[in-house]
Amino acid sequence: MSQLLQDPTLKPLSLPQLYKACVLKELPFKSTRQLEPLAEIVGQNRAQEAVRFALAMPHGGYNVYAVGRNGLGKRTMMLRYLEHHLDTKQQSHDWCYVADFEEPRVPKLLQLPAGKGVRLKQDMEKLMSRLVKVIPQTFDSDSFLERSEQLKEEYGKKQEDELEKVAAQARRKKVSLNITTPGGYRLVAMKGDKPHTAETFKALTDAQRDKYEDSINKLEKKLRQALRKLADWEQEYADKQQALNKETLEGISGHQIDALIESYKNLPDVVGYFEAVRADLVENLEIFLDDNEEQAAIAYASLDKKMPRRYLVNVLVHQKTNEVPMVVEDNPTYHNLFGYVENVTYKGTVFTDFSLIRAGSLHRANGGYLLMDAIKMLEQPFVWDGLKRALRARSIQINSLERELTLSGTISIEPQGVPLDVKLVLFGDRETWMLLQDYDPEFAELFRVTADFENEMYRSEDSQVMYAKFIASVVKEKSLLHCSNKAVARVIEYSARMAEHQDRLSLHAANIANLLRESDYWARQAGAKLIQDIHVERALESAKYRSSRIRDQFYDSIRDGSTLVSTQGSVVGQVNALSVLSTGGFEFGLSNRVTATCYYGDGGIMDIERDVKLGGNIHSKGVMILSSWLASHFAVNDPMHLSASLTFEQNYGEVDGDSASLAELCALISSISGIPVRQELAITGSVNQFGEVQPIGGVNEKVEGFFATCQLKGGLTGTQGAIVPANNVQNLMLDSEVVQAVRESRFSVYAVSSVEEAVTLLLGKSAGKADSKGNYPKQSVFGIIQQRLEKMREHERQEHAKDDQKDPSIH
């Protein structure tokens, strides 16, 4: 065996191949205190460029869908980028709803520069609070009452004079003009000082009666003429009273409204509103003169100030500064996004008005950016359709969700739609993005930019320094202790382990942030002023211990012999294969015994896992590939008369993946050749039809799993080791305990690139190389198989010959 291992391809891997350490001289700083924290997210140049492009595009539809798994820092990157790259030329606005006095059900929308909305509300409150006090005082003052009384007296005098004229004419005709009901008059024939009764009138002669009737008819015409004059005078009186009210109101409020108009002269809609208020005050003077308990109760119930509700200003959106708004909506329900109209219950009646309209996230983000999680948004009913409708129409309509869901005809208000100008950023995973692409044709039109976040970045001296700055930014952001350069180096090595590649670094920012928080905890526990590498190591060990209960249960079964594993000796047809188990984010490696048995047959391979429906599709594919490899090597011209069965021993769950196909093939080769397999070695890798070994995942956990198994089964002997695909060497970032054991020659890791190399290592005998005629050396593993199969074929031919002699008619 020692002669075989002199072949350089079969030598154990060197220490640098097992773990790529971060060299301190590549980190030109003593601690992260000396580093400038990154303003951007490290390694996300592609996503950053996509966001830059989307934000720069002025046209509609260039909203952003940020694709990537959770923890990559999508939201953090987006917020940081927006903070540093906002277009300062953009103007933010305040939005207010006010009453439309002509159409109360459709409140008016006012757009004001940032900060002006609250000022308008305060100005109106000042105006109204003054009018609420001054109007009752003024209209109850002696001067106003005198003028009002004078008007009333003038009207009364005219009325009396006109009616007296008719009454005088009537008296001359012996007819009396009587007032019946208010506004009702009656002409009655008189007998002296008393009116005629029915009997006395009947007692008159026909000529006398006719004379009375003729007089009354003429008087009625004159009375009607007089009453028309009275109606005109009444209207004239009302107009004069209205003019007096207007003149009086103008004296009280005119100069204030004029001052407000001057203050807001650059905003025509606001000026128009003030003019409408001026006119409406005259029409609704009684609001100020009547002590309205209902208004006070509604104001109390809706948390508003006690003032006439029709003159309230509802500030829907208030921007404190002129900065472009950035809103993160964590709970994107329909009402939270699109706003809603509140109701107030008063004496059993549900009441609402424009002052109870409330803004949603879209209103607050208008003119800027709205960020939210795609899955949370899609989980909420009606939100996605409403969002698409708003983006297409470029308008936010505040529709009651209850009205959309029911046929209720309750009276409500219909506010004017708010013009929408917003860039939407959705965060989500790739599956959600692909589903939306496939099933919603409008999605691609509205979200034309995809910010695709990387999981990893290349590892170089420059990128390690960038990563250190990223660590510095996390330290600053989370108010943690600063890290020494050794601690940074350890975090970088851990990041490479997470990326499962020596020349890559993981960009899973959440994991790094968690590691730094926990390292900070252990550093503070130890009273340190800096996070050192020992604190990072302690944090990693602590996290592993917390998550490893199930792993330890498996290890207990290996220790007590419940799980059958051999780490010494040699056995025919039995190979230690390596697998990975995942338990909610924690992965660990385990040894699995793969066995193969051979028997006389048609050359087929029975996969027990597949036949009992415990094997997945990929596992079954791997077994079929190794079947074809065997056939291409040993049954090109003649059939194989050896069949075999394969299984994972003590496996009671589903098996999938082809990473054990190399182990299965080696078990088959051992079983067919009769040469035992070294049990101190374990192997992982998949194989193709040409016998090339292909890379697999979880290589670190698999090697560490067999290392732990060897320790559990009586300790390390120095001959034990793991065999991995040569293409997986770049993925090795092994645990320090394994590296130390290799350094002390107590454990080895080998890399193979072909079935022949794997067979040579596992069986301790050269696999053999075929000559031009396809024959293998007799002492090689393949040569032994070839000879065994040839003997069986010869035996088969002899049997056929005997049959032919007994019964020549067979052929």
In 3D space, the residue among 227, 335, 266, 340 whose CA is nearest the CA of residue 113 turns out to be 266
Chain Cα centroid distance, residue 715: 50
Sign of CA dihedral 566, 567, 569, 573: positive
CB 700 within 8 A of CB 734: yes
| Nearest in space to 371 (alpha carbons), one of 331, 316, 401 | 331
Could you give the 3-state DSSP secondary structure of residue 613?
coil
Told to judge if 229 belongs to the known catalytic residues of this protein, a careful annotator would answer no
How far is 733 from 148, CA to CA, in rounded Å? 98
How far are the Cα atoms of 4, 10, 761, 781 from residue 7, in angstroms, in the given order? 6, 5, 11, 17
Q: Is 702 one of the annotated active-site residues of the chain? A: yes
Alpha carbon distance 657, 650 (integer Å): 18
Residue written as token pair 């009207």: 155
Give CA–CA dist 595/112, Å, rounded: 79
Residue type, 270: V
Residues pairing with 748 in the sheet: 721
Residue 96: beta bridge partners?
110, 315
Which residues, listed in sequence order, are joined to residue 341 by a DSSP beta bridge? 357
Taking the C-alpha atoms of residue 133 and residue 306, their distance in angstroms, rounded to an integer, is: 12
Residue closest to 700 by CA, chosen among 585, 580, 549, 546:
580
Does residue 768 contact residue 783 with C-beta atoms inside 8 Å?
A: yes
Among the listed residues 484, 495, 659, 670, the single catalytic one is 659
As given in the structure block, the two tokens for residue 806 are 């007994």
Query: 732: how many CB neighbours lie within 10 A of its CB?
Result: 24
Dist. CA 411–CA 364, nearest whole Å: 27
Q: What share of the chain is helix, strand, coil (3-state, %, to 5)?
A: 50, 15, 30
Residue 748 DSSP code: E
The residues facing 578 across adjacent strands are 591
CA angle 319, 321, 325 (to 5 degrees): 55
CA-based torsion, 616, 622, 625, 629: positive or negative: negative
In one-letter notation, the amino acid at residue 624 is M
Q: d(Cα 245, Cα 454) in Å, to the nearest integer?
A: 73
Adjacency order of strands within the sheet including 449-452: 326-329, 369-373, 423-428, 64-67, 449-452
Helix axes 617-634, 661-673, angle to 10 degrees: 40
| CA distances to 40, 78, 79 from 327, in Å | 19, 12, 10
Catalytic residue among 20, 486, 702, 713: 702
Torsion of CA 700, 705, 710, 716, to 10 degrees: 30
Instruction: Quickly count: other Cβ atoms within 10 Å of residue 346's Cβ.
Output: 14
Residue type, 72: L
Show the CA angle centred on residue 388, arms to residues 425 and 422, nearest 5°.
45
Cα dihedral angle (108, 114, 119, 121), rounded to 10 degrees?
30
Cα gap 223→218, rounded to integer Å:
9
Whether 428 contacts 369, CB under 8 Å: no
Q: What is the DSSP letter of 417?
A: P
Q: Residue 103: what are its φ and ψ, rounded to 5°?
A: -135, 80
Paired tokens of 293: 């308990």
| Residue from 364, 303, 300 nearest 336 by CA | 364
Active site residues: 659, 702
